Structure 1
Amino acid sequence: MTQVEQFPPGPLIAWYGDDYTGAAAVMEVLSFAGLPSILFLDPPTPEQLARFGQMRGIGIAGTARSENPQWMQAELPRMFASLRKTGAPLLHYKICSTLDSAPDIGSIGAAMEIAVATLGTRLMPVYPAAIPLKRYQAFGSLFAAAPDGVFRLDRHPVMARHPVTPMDEADVVQHLARQTRLPIETLRLDQLHQGQADAVLAAAEREGGAGIALDSVSEADQREIGRILWQRRNTDMMCFGSQGIEYALIAHWRAAGMIPPVAPRPSAGDLGPIAVVSASVSPVTAQQIANAAASGFRLIEGDPRHLASDNASAAEETVVTEMLEALSRGQDVLLATARGPDDPAVERFRTWLADNATAAAGANRNIGKALGRILHRVVTRSGLRRAVISGGDTSGHAARELGVTALQALAPTVPGASISVARSEDPQIDGLQLALKGGQMGTVDFFSWVRAGGGVDGKLR
């Protein structure tokens, strides 16, 4: 009888997410597979690690995807050091499954160089593929699904026209070669299928400081990738990939009998009225706001000019009063700074920025913080137990201002936007159920879905 391998004690994997929703997606994959995990908003202290010592996955939510290489040189070394301090045998730098990056913003190559310089990393598997998300890599080229089919990334109807990092190169090695001079090769499908993977990775490791882009187009490939990565744990290796890394590991662990299959997480149930704060101007969020209004949410306008100013306290208190009034009547409430890109509030805000010579990044940061303060007052004065923060960059600033230090996945919605349990030093915030949603994420009825507790009959919509 074959003896089943046992997990070592402590965390199995530690990750840094180059954006908040991506970091959360890793937490969800692990948690919903039955592996308790936690996502910190800052590098955890020794006391925090001790408090959550039974976690199998420990993550840090970051913003590197929207930062330049100089920022990364200043910030990532301490993030990587924090990952190593967890003692996890596997380290993961979470990137987007569509490889969002460029030499001057969100550079994956720069992050790889920092890993080599600060951790002595010798091998860096690059695995953007994620089979459950219909992201595939074949002979070095990345493919992603769209409503009309599966497209090579440079011909993808969305990613080829990305506003910040348009993808004009689907070959993973060639794309990363623009960002780093480190050697990177491809583990091709034919090598994977012929049992040559271990030898290819060993050769890359001997070279030192090398990347290896991993092909994968099927569940069987995914499972084999998981075996390869787990076998090389406790080595000088950092994985650079999507949550496909975790999907692959879980597939291997299940096949090896190390973890059992688990039932899908059910809905967290109805807790009564919820509050939503949104600073997204995405058309997707605009549709969600319209759907919420049709479903009975009380909509409240928050003027972004007032919330972005250095003296926003009066504007904040005004909307807090309105939100509390609606909640006291049993209404769900949604505070939005705009209802999509065509809302006149957007143009007024741009004019205000120009007239006041104010940088958009700083103003958006102020808005995020203001929404966090507003939500804190609403929660502490009303006893509210579930809320949503909508807007990718907004989510991080608002969650910090709210007093959140960490998140633990509770109930699924869409990948990267589950309902989580907030952890905080503030007892009035600790235990709050919170969903953080990027602007482009979620179903049309997302806010009502969260209000109902996520999940539908234990399944995603």
Structure 2
Amino acid sequence: MSAMVAKPLLGCIADDFTGATDLANNLVRSGMRTVQTIGIPEDESAAIDADAIVVALKSRTIAPADAVAQSLDALRWLRAQGVQQVYFKYCSTFDSTPEGNIGPVTDALLDALSDLPNGEFTIACPAFPENQRTIFNGHLFVGEQLLSDSGMRNHPLTPMTDANLVRVLQLQTKHKVGLVTYDVVAQGARAIRERFAALKAEGVRIAVVDAVSNEDLIQIGAAVQDMPLVTAGSGLAIGLPQNWQFNEPGAAAARADRLPPAAGLRAIVSGSCSQATNVQVLHFMRSGRASFAVDPLAIAAGDDVVGEALAWAGEHVLDGPVLVYATAEWASVKDVQAQLGVARAGELVEEALSSIALGLVERGVRQLVVAGGETSGAVVRELNVRQMGIGPQIDPGVPWTAVHSPACAGETLHMALKSGNFGTTDFFTKAFDQLAA
């Protein structure tokens, strides 16, 4: 007789792949055994033995209707798994267009769960203080800058030009949006719940919640314990495990984040053009390590950029980690987009980088860092990865993972999927040092 598999407690829907590992990382740090799936598992009847499941979608920048459809499919599967609470995870910089996709997906999930007790109300809280994302009086800050003054104002796909989250979200949702201000959050979970009740009485169905510290997230987490749906960045994940008595960041996390030993060649594939990743690429190059720049215009002209990159990597990868990158400053990105079109430029780069990643793994790379949400999604799909074991944190929001791919000939591939905005300047070098420790 097979052992019974306990039902997962928390079911998460993430709108991109780096965000999914970011969320899973925070859950593992609190001791929750967490499995990340790439999309809905093909065998939908298979039970997953974990405390939390994170379904990684690539829905952040697709058409809102498609994002809604994918998210509802994920919700249906998670509910069949028996989860007690659903977590819709988006970026800590609230990446979206005026049309969505955060609002439309939240609306759809709310409607689907409205028959449950407390299912008619949810929150929006992208705060992640450990990564300098905070919310005060409903305004999102990146470090000391308003979101609208940060580098996100120039994002090529989701430029964020308004830091007022109530205003941004209200443009995307059919429901009334309210605010729980910091002075309420500072009073603790009971005061937050009382504010929720007052907002609901006013017809509000989604409340933006201020948070400037991890303690705020702990109190918010306690306040949403009985809420079927929460929507947030990955930061709130540190406040939810306590609701199921997972609050041992030491021994419990050490058990939850254990991965097989790492071996094999090392490489980095970077497609993000965020300020943080540009600095990381420059640091790696200045450290004297080997790097290869991917030119979108050369790809468009029909040059065999993938073949050139793989041939180059074959000459250098035995000497240490190599970097293949399309990362560039915003001005260069906009120039390429003007010549090729935004969509085509992105597609060409993603296709090239994912093909390069596959070629690197086929040639023996077993430790792979991927930078950028869109790039990570493309690489994971090219490698046909279906599930990820979550390991130790490299930097806040970025863990190592262990995966299996047909390209690995049965061996384990260690991957780190890094959101473009995350990580310290030396991230690319210290990531491999940590895995070797």
Q: Which has the higher contact order (CA 8 A, sep 6+)?
A: 2
| Aligned partner letter, 1:114 | A
Residue matched to 2:23: 26
8 Å contact 2:177–2:206 — kept in the other structure? yes
Post-superposition Cα deviations, 1:212-248, rounded to whole Å, max 9, x if no partner, equal 3334455554333222222x15xxx311112232111
Matched, 1:373 2:364: no
Q: 1:451 to 1:220 in 2, by over 3 A?
A: closer
Of the three residues 224, 231, 239, the one matched with 1:240 is 231
Residue matched to 2:178: 185
Q: 1:39 to 1:207 in 2, by over 3 A?
A: farther
**Larger deviation, residues 364-373 vs 85-94:** 364-373
CA RMSD of aligned residues (A): 3.7
| Aligned partner letter, 1:107 | N
Matched, 1:142 2:139: yes
Matched, 1:402 2:393: no
Q: How does 1:386-425 map to 2 (within 5 A)?
A: 386-424=367-405
| Aligned partner letter, 1:318 | E
Q: How does 1:27-426 map to 2 (within 5 A)?
A: 27-46=24-43, 49-50=46-47, 53-104=48-99, 106-120=100-114, 121-138=119-136, 140-144=137-141, 146=143, 149=144, 157-158=150-151, 164-170=158-164, 172-188=165-181, 193=187, 195-201=190-196, 210-217=205-212, 219-230=214-225, 232=226, 237-251=228-242, 258-262=246-250, 271=263, 273-307=265-299, 314-327=304-317, 329-337=318-326, 340=329, 349=336, 354=339, 358-382=340-364, 384-424=365-405
Counterpart Cα distance in 1 of 2:308 and 2:216: 55
8 Å contact 1:186–1:212 — kept in the other structure? yes
| Aligned partner letter, 2:160 | P
Counterpart Cα distance in 1 of 2:40 and 2:95: 24
TM-score, structure 2 normalization: 0.81
Post-superposition Cα deviations, 1:115-167, rounded to whole Å, max 9, x if no partner, equal 234443422122333444454445x5235352xx4x5656x544567663434
Q: 1:448 to 1:103 in 2, by over 3 A?
A: same
Counterpart Cα distance in 2 of 1:274 and 1:324: 12
Counterpart Cα distance in 2 of 1:331 and 1:223: 41
Post-superposition Cα deviations, 1:322-378, rounded to whole Å, max 9, x if no partner, equal 212323x433322234555577xx699558xx4xxx544234224323322322232
Residue matched to 1:449: 430
| Aligned partner letter, 1:331 | G
Q: Which sections of structure 2, spanning at least 5 residues, go unmatched?
A: none
8 Å contact 2:123–2:230 — kept in the other structure? yes
| Aligned partner letter, 2:277 | T
SS in 2 for 1:385: strand
| Aligned partner letter, 1:321 | A
Using the aligned pairs only, state the percent identity.
25
Q: 1:258 to 1:333 in 2, by over 3 A?
A: closer
Post-superposition Cα deviations, 1:54-106, rounded to whole Å, max 9, x if no partner, equal 211111223333234333344332233233233210101112334333422x3
| Aligned partner letter, 2:37 | F
8 Å contact 1:16–1:93 — kept in the other structure? yes
Post-superposition Cα deviations, 1:285-307, rounded to whole Å, max 9, x if no partner, equal 34333332343422234343454
Q: 1:424 to 1:128 in 2, by over 3 A?
A: same
| Aligned partner letter, 2:168 | H
8 Å contact 1:405–1:425 — kept in the other structure? no
CA shift, 1:26, in A, is 0.7
SS in 2 for 1:412: strand
CA shift, 1:438, in A, is 3.4
CA shift, 1:190, in A, is 5.6
Count of equivalent residues: 422
CA shift, 1:401, in A, is 0.6
Residue matched to 1:4: none
| Aligned partner letter, 1:113 | D
Q: 1:374 to 1:216 in 2, by over 3 A?
A: closer
Counterpart Cα distance in 2 of 1:197 and 1:294: 48
Q: 1:190 to 1:393 in 2, by over 3 A?
A: closer
Max Rg structure: 1
CA shift, 1:432, in A, is 0.4
SS in 2 for 1:389: strand
| Aligned partner letter, 2:120 | R
8 Å contact 1:122–1:209 — kept in the other structure? no
**Larger deviation, residues 242-251 vs 161-170:** 161-170
Counterpart Cα distance in 2 of 1:70 and 1:446: 36
8 Å contact 2:154–2:330 — kept in the other structure? no
Q: 1:39 to 1:208 in 2, by over 3 A?
A: farther
| Aligned partner letter, 2:122 | M
| Aligned partner letter, 1:224 | Q
8 Å contact 1:280–1:340 — kept in the other structure? no
Post-superposition Cα deviations, 1:22-52, rounded to whole Å, max 9, x if no partner, equal 22211100112221112222122335853xx
SS in 2 for 1:413: strand
